[in-house]
Structure 1
Amino acid sequence: MEEYIIAVDENDKELGPIEKMEAHEKGVLHRAFSIFIFNSKDQLLLQKRYSGKYHSGGLWTNTCCSHPRYKEKLEEAIYRRLKEEMGFTCELTKLFSFCYKVNFENSLTENEYDHVFIGTYDGEIVPNENEVEDYKWIDIDEVKRDIKNNGHLYTFWFKSVLDKVIESYYLSKE
Structure 2
Amino acid sequence: MRSNHIILVNEQDEALATMEKLEAHQKGLLHRAFSVFIVNSKNEMLLQQRASGKYHSAGLWTNACCSHPMPGEEVEQAAHRRLQEEMGFDCPVKKLFTFTYQASFDNGLTEHEYDHVFLGTFDGVVIPDEEEVAAYAFYPLAEITRQIRDTPDRFTYWFKVAFPMVTELL
TM-score by length of 2: 0.97
The offset of 1:88, in angstroms, is: 0.3
Query: Could you tell me how far 1:121 is from its partner in structure 2?
Result: 0.3
Q: Distance in 1 between matches of 2:75 and 2:37?
A: 16
Residue identity opposite 1:4 in structure 2: H
Q: Establish whether residue 7 from structure 1 lines up as the match of residue 8 from structure 2.
A: yes
Distance in 1, Cα, partners of 2:6 & 2:100: 16
Please tell me whether residue 33 in structure 1 is matched to residue 24 in structure 2: no
- Partner in structure 1 of residue 133 of structure 2: 132
The secondary structure found in structure 2 opposite 1:160 is helix
Q: Say which SS state the counterpart of residue 102 (structure 1) adopts.
A: strand
Structure 2 CA distance for aligned equivalents of residues 160 and 94 of structure 1: 17
Residue 124 (structure 1) shift: 0.4
Residue in 2 that maps onto 1:50: 51
Corresponding residue for 1:72? 73
Aligned length: 169
Q: How does 1:88-107 map to 2 (within 5 A)?
A: 88-107=89-108
Which SS does the other structure have where 1:76 is aligned? helix
Q: Give the partner amino acid of 2:16.
A: L
Runs of 4+ deviating beyond 4 Å: none
RMSD: 0.9
User: How many Å separate the matches in 2 of 1:125 and 1:52?
Assistant: 20
Residues 31-71 of structure 1, C-alpha deviation per residue, up to 9 Å, x if partnerless?
00000000000000000000111000000000100000111
SS at match of 1:37: strand
User: What's 1:172 paired with?
Assistant: none
Unpaired segments ≥5 residues, structure 2: none
Opposite residue 140 of structure 2, the aligned amino acid is D
Percent identity reads 54
1:126 match: secondary structure: coil
Tell me the equivalent position of 2:84.
83
